[in-house]
Amino acid sequence: MSNTAASFTPIEKLGRKGLIEKIAAEFGRHGEGLVFGIGDDAAVLDTKSGGHPLISSEIYSEGVDFDLTYTPWNHLGFKVISMAVSDIFAMNGKPEFIFLNLSLTNKISVEMLTLFYQGVAHACSTYNVRLAGGDFGASHHTCSVAVTVYGTAGVPVYRSGARPGDAICVTGDLGAASCGLMILLREKRHFETAEQTVFEPDLSPFEYVVRKQLVPEARFDCIESFRASEIVPSSMSDISKSLVSTLLEMMDSSKCGCKIFEAALPVHPETRNTADELEKDIDTFVLYGGEDFELLFTLPESQVKTFADRFRDFVVIGKVEPKEHGIKMLTAEGHLMTLS
């Protein structure tokens, strides 16, 4: 997995104006809901679609949120968009426009940025959003990417709506992304020790977990199924940090307690195999790993079966309880432990 480009065109050769023109040519300046996008002082949006406007911003820093040693530029482009739109989906919304601001060092070439924007374009197509603008800046040491996403929601869903008796549900499976990160960090250490010039480890045995780390997909399919079922969750959030931290935030906002069941937590077989390879407890990844970008939501128990008839990629992992019950997990061995 190499980030080495076939050629290296310094950004100053194109210049800021030339780079903007290159991106505008790729993504366009006009479209549905977009009166005028890339190329002026601000984007002009048509907000006739109605609904509640939603705006979310994220910033990703090299060395903290991503590592260019093992992150291909096209994967980075896809990932930053996925992470941004996930916040809008978590509010039961529909993302519509993306604004990207990049701070770049002189080690970044036009070819690298072209790969980055190819990933951005793939993500925009996947989530049916448009890149509407952004800016470039210079940095002496590391790169950063700031993303702002605009969307709308007919009925916004907050973290604070869970009520005692609601079922606690989660989409997909958990722990894979953080498991994949551990593999990538391990291979990076081997790469640095061996003093190789190109980072090209054999990651095929860990393809599932590495892909979940490098190219996560936001769960728009679940949101579409909510709309088709005419079901609105009582509360919802995306699992960007960890299951436990997201659950604690949701229950705190809802002023409720809960009980989840360790045996019900969804784990992909490849994640379990990789945890064994790393000689780590699988619960470390499932409960406390981050960047899964699955959706954690609550539903009245009466709506669970109705939703499951339309959307199958979720499981019930617990139940909302009164606040005084605390936030607990029943382990596979039958012990009740407090989560924190």
Do the domain assignments include residue 266? yes
Do the domain assignments include residue 196? yes
Q: Which of 153, 176, 208 is the C-terminal boundary of a domain? A: 153
Do the domain assignments include residue 48? yes
In terms of domains, do 328 and 203 share one? Answer: yes
Radius of gyration of the chain (CA): 21
In terms of domains, do 100 and 174 share one? Answer: no
> How many domains are contained in the chain?
2
In terms of domains, do 133 and 92 share one? Answer: yes
Helices (H), the chain: 11-27, 73-89, 110-127, 176-194, 207-214, 220-229, 243-254, 269-278, 282-288, 301-310
Q: Give me the pLDDT at residue 72, please.
A: 95
Would you state the structure tokens that stand for residue 172, as one six-digit string? 């997909």
Q: Give me the pLDDT at residue 41, please.
A: 40
Per-residue pLDDT of the chain (340 residues; tens, 9 = 90+): 444 446 888 867 776 567 667 767 776 666 666 565 554 443 455 666 667 888 888 889 999 999 999 999 999 999 999 999 999 999 999 999 999 999 999 999 999 999 999 999 999 999 999 999 898 899 999 999 999 999 988 888 999 999 999 999 999 999 999 999 999 999 998 888 877 777 778 899 999 999 999 999 999 999 999 999 999 999 999 999 899 999 999 999 999 999 999 999 999 999 999 999 999 999 999 999 989 999 999 999 999 999 999 999 999 999 999 999 999 999 999 999 999 7
Do the domain assignments include residue 212? yes
Characterize the bridge pairing of strands 256-261 and 314-322.
Answer: antiparallel
Sorted by sequence, the CB contacts under 8 Å of residue 118 that are 6+ apart come out as 74, 77
**DSSP label at residue 114:** H
Q: Name 133's bridge partners.
A: 99
Q: Give me the pLDDT at residue 34, please.
A: 59
- How many of the other CB atoms lie within 10 Å of CB of 219? 25
Characterize the bridge pairing of strands 167-171 and 295-299.
Answer: antiparallel
Q: Give me the pLDDT at residue 48, please.
A: 60
Q: Give me the pLDDT at residue 47, please.
A: 61
Do the domain assignments include residue 1? no
Would you state the structure tokens that stand for residue 145, as one six-digit string? 């990417």
In terms of domains, do 125 and 179 share one? Answer: no
220 lies in which domain range?
Answer: 159-338
In terms of domains, do 22 and 136 share one? Answer: yes
Q: Give me the pLDDT at residue 33, please.
A: 63
The domain spanning residue 311 has which CATH number?
A: 3.90.650.10
Do the domain assignments include residue 202? yes
Helix (H, G, I), strand (E, B) or coil at 281: coil
Q: Give me the pLDDT at residue 9, please.
A: 82
CA angle 146, 151, 155 (to 5 degrees): 135
Cα 26 to Cα 128: distance, rounded to the nearest angstrom: 16
Q: Which of 107, 137, 153 is the C-terminal boundary of a domain? A: 153
CB under 8 A, 24+ apart: contacts of 183-190: 183/209, 183/210, 183/274, 183/278, 184/67, 184/70, 184/210, 184/213, 184/214, 186/278, 187/70, 188/67, 188/69, 188/70
Sign of CA dihedral 112, 114, 116, 118: negative
Do the domain assignments include residue 2? no
Q: Which of 134, 153, 172 is the C-terminal boundary of a domain? A: 153
Give the largest Cα separation in the chain, rounded.
65
In terms of domains, do 165 and 95 share one? Answer: no
Do the domain assignments include residue 3? no
